[in-house]
Amino acid sequence: MPILICGSVAYDTIMVFPDRFKHHILPDKVHMLSVSFLVPQMRREYGGCAGNIAYSLLMLGGDPLPMATVGQDFAPYAERLGKLGIRQECIRLLPEHYTPQCFITTDLDDNQITAFHPGAMSESHNNRFDHVDGISLALIGPDGREGMLARVRECRAAGIPFVFDPGQAMPLFNAEELLDCMLHADYVTLNDYEAALTEEKTGKTMTELAAHVKALIVTRGGDGSTIYAQGREIVIPPAKAAAVVDPTGCGDAYRAGLLYGIEQGWDWEITGRLASLLGALKIAQHGPQNHQFTRDSLKLAYREAFGGELPL
């Protein structure tokens, strides 16, 4: 059955500046800043949270259904999705816009200067999924503000269980809106920074919020994750990565494992460990959609990482 993944489908243009920004930005002149960086290295990656999650979920054997609004430059991405076999009936093309895209320049100290153009994502509230039957589960991830609020209402009305994952869109919501979305979700997932921001913004602790949902998941990067479920705090250990190359998209890979485990009805220990393993596999590759695995290789990697069997 299809799993609806609501969020961005975007291009990531990543450039490397072979020097340090601090050598070219004068602190006492930032009020009249005019700088140019020569970036000999550049690559363009397929990204966006919906596209990234769909990529890993498909390799797990799931049926991902990304839902996003895209623009006039979407053709290369559409071709890629077609070759992968990822469904596109909930991707809406708006030719008057560009596809969302992120431009990232990184220096030798791993400092980043980023510009994000939302493009068609600003019209995400005009997209629909009611023409698709049999949706078993949904994830509502970072997207246009009105689109995210609409998806919460629509999933509730349709009786579709959903994960609320505000991510970098969290500043778009006031405390009341954020709390309403979380309390009406079946599951909530946050990273540790977002969790702290949520507690500050809503006045609720993670334990208090977890009492209203089936599970609340907090990821902690290389320190693993914590799943608050059924009155328990389940500590999920990190899986050791073969190499630490690029963290972009690790959270999305984790969420693919989370969605698959929820749909399969697995316990939280197995689901969390699978999600952790996918994050470790992703971080060893550049870009959010270049890691690869088979079900057999994943079972072996799971056994080596955690000493148990993955019921794939």
pLDDT digits (tens, 9 = 90+) for 57-82: 999 999 999 999 999 999 999 999 99
User: Global pTM?
Assistant: 0.94
Is the pLDDT at 112 greater than 90, yes or no?
A: no
Average pLDDT over residues 173-193: 96
Q: Look at residue 110 and tell me whether its pLDDT is greater than 80.
A: no
C-alpha 158/C-alpha 7 separation (Å) is: 18
SS3 225: strand
Q: Where are the domains of the chain?
A: 3-23+40-299
Confidence band, pLDDT 50/70/90 cuts, at residue 152? very high
Average pLDDT, integer, range 270-275: 98
Query: Does residue 27 have a pLDDT over 90?
Result: no
Average pLDDT over residues 94-119: 92
Structure tokens at 180: 């309403």
Mean pLDDT of 140-165: 97
- Model confidence at 238, pLDDT cuts 50, 70, 90, reads very high
Cβ-based burial of 312 (10 A; exposed 0-12, middle 13-18, buried ≥19) = middle
Q: Strand pairing of 64-70 and 41-47?
A: unpaired
Q: What is the mean pLDDT of residues 138-167?
A: 97
**pLDDT reported for residue 36:** 92
CA pseudo-torsion sign 183, 228, 292, 16: positive
Helices (H) and strands (E) in the chain, counts: 9, 13
The CA-based angle 177-180-181, given to 5 degrees, is: 90
Chain-centroid distance, C-alpha 290: 15
- CATH tag for 3-23+40-299 (out of 2.60.40.1080, 3.40.1190.20, 3.90.1860.10, 1.20.1240.10): 3.40.1190.20
